[in-house]
């Protein structure tokens, strides 16, 4: 019942995002489709970042018609995406109906620098034949979370709702990331989605493939140290989002995370939760002021969770309630969240 509720909620979310669909491209030749992807905010490119490594390679795009034939493609972009949104026009080879939109990382190119997409939207030019239900649509990154693939909080919000992002990656670095996403235009399109039951979204609406369970285990086994190497010098802090949900999810991936609302820190390298230390805490807890886990009343059993050298990651009063804030281990603000 919880799964059905969440999937029904996903349908409502998708219908609320239709304003993100790009404007119709000019109709030339056999028609064309504009595909636009919004990424999670990435600290490598943006001072207002909330997620490390979210902007990688833009995937190969393929448009297929309802007869099951490829009808247009874009080869992908093997340099880092520098913006939180990026769009391409895909010219069609035949003037035929849109069946499926593919996002591929193992096609003509091997696109191995992952992106974490918050939203994918498409819009056909006005000379592409109906049904109109498949000619435009929008798919949130939440769909990968709901269907059991790698995700994180994107730092993007729409209509007052925080969006998750889904990891798309050729080499499965993110463990259970998707290496392709196949969107059924008729099911997920702007008009078609309102008629769908939540159970139809995974598989029928959006087809996804990952490296599989063995690849997932290899990635997890080999990536524990990589987590600390990649993310160990930053702590993500949020006042309202849940560190518990992030830590308890077997498919979440990304930076370690502290929730002010919950008073809980999630060490993402081990998926271990620590409560904030206070006068009543016993056992191992998270020392908020020194950014490390420690065993109360036993200073010799400290467990350092991130790179040493931390002095403070500041106090809750220094964070704006509605926004992400990223600070380095010296307490220097990297992102004040005002870009969201």
Residue 336 has pLDDT above 80, yes or no: no
Q: If residue 144 lies in a helix (H) or strand (E), which one and from where to where?
A: helix 142-146
CA distances to 178, 202, 213, 257, 267 from 148, rounded to whole Å, are: 10, 9, 12, 20, 21
8 Å CB contact between 136 and 63: no
List C-alpha distances in Å: 232 to 53, 76, 149, 280, 325. 13, 30, 23, 28, 16
DSSP 186: H
pLDDT exceeds 90 at position 70: yes
Residue 322 pLDDT greater than 50, yes or no:
no
CB atoms within 10 A of CB 164: 23
Question: Facing residues of 153 across strands?
Answer: 164
Is the pLDDT at 92 greater than 90? The verdict is: yes
DSSP string, 220-277: HHHHHHHHHHHHTTEEEEESSS-HHHHHH-TTB-SS-EEETTTTEEEETTTTEEEEBP
Give me the chain's average pLDDT, please.
68
**Per residue in 127-182, pLDDT tens?**
888 766 688 888 888 888 888 888 888 877 776 778 888 888 877 776 678 888 88
pTM over cut 0.75: no
Least confident of 35-49, 142-156, 263-277: 35-49
Which residues on adjacent β-strands are paired with residue 161? 158
- Give the Cα-Cα-Cα angle 7, 50, 255 (nearest 5 degrees): 80
pLDDT band at 195 (very low <50, low <70, confident <90, very high): low
Q: How many CB atoms lie within 10 A of CB 214?
A: 8
Q: Which pLDDT belongs to residue 126? A: 87
* Six token digits for residue 109: 């190119």
200 φ, ψ (degrees, to nearest 5): -85, -10
The DSSP element (H or E) to which 303 belongs, if any, is strand 298-303
Q: Residues 305-330: what's their mean pLDDT?
A: 29
Residue 283 pLDDT grade (very low, low, confident, very high; cuts 50, 70, 90)? low
| Pick from 199-213, 231-245, 300-314: least confident | 300-314
Q: What's the rounded mean pLDDT across residues 49-73?
A: 82
Answer whether 7's CB lies under 8 Å from 146's CB: yes
Tokens of 274: 């620590």
**Which residue has better confidence, 107 or 2?**
107
User: Above 50 in pLDDT, residue 310?
Assistant: no
The pLDDT value given to residue 33: 92
Percent of the chain with pLDDT over 90: 9
**In the structure, what pLDDT confidence band is assigned to residue 69 with cuts at 50, 70 and 90?**
very high
């Amino acid at each position: 019942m919880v799964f059905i509720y969440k999937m029904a909620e996903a349908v409502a979310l998708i219908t609320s995002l239709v304003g993100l669909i790009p404007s119709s491209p000019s109709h030339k030749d056999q028609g064309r489709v504009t595909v636009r992807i919004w990424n999670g905010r990435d600290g490598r490119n943006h001072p207002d970042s909330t997620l490390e490594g979210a902007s990688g390679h833009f995937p190969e795009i393929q448009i297929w018609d309802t007869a099951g034939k490829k009808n247009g493609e874009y080869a992908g972009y093997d340099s880092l995406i520098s913006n939180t949104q990026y769009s391409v026009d895909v010219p069609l080879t035949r003037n035929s109906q849109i069946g499926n939109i593919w996002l591929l990382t193992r096609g003509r190119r091997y696109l191995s620098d992952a992106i974490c997409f918050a939203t994918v939207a498409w819009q056909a030019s006005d000379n592409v034949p109906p049904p109109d239900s498949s000619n435009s649509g929008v798919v949130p990154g939440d769909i990968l979370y709901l269907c059991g693939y790698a995700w994180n909080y994107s730092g993007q919000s729409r209509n007052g709702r925080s969006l998750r992002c889904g990891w798309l990656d050729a080499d499965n670095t993110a463990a259970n990331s998707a290496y392709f996403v196949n969107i059924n235009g008729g099911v997920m399109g702007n008009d078609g989605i309102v008629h769908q039951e939540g159970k139809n979204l995974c598989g029928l609406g959006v087809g996804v493939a990952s490296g599989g369970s063995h690849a997932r285990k290899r990635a997890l086994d080999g990536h524990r140290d990589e987590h600390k190497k990649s993310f160990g010098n930053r702590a993500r802090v949020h006042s309202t989002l849940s560190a518990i949900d992030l830590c308890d999810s077997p498919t979440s991936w990304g930076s370690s995370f502290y929730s002010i609302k919950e008073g809980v820190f999630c060490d993402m390298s081990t998926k271990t939760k620590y409560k904030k230390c206070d006068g009543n805490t016993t056992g191992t807890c998270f020392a908020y002021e020194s950014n490390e886990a420690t065993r109360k009343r036993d200073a010799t059993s400290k467990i350092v969770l991130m790179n040493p050298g931390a002095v403070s990651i500041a106090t809750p009063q220094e964070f704006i309630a509605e926004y992400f804030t990223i600070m380095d281990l010296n307490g220097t603000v990297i992102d004040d969240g005002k870009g969201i």
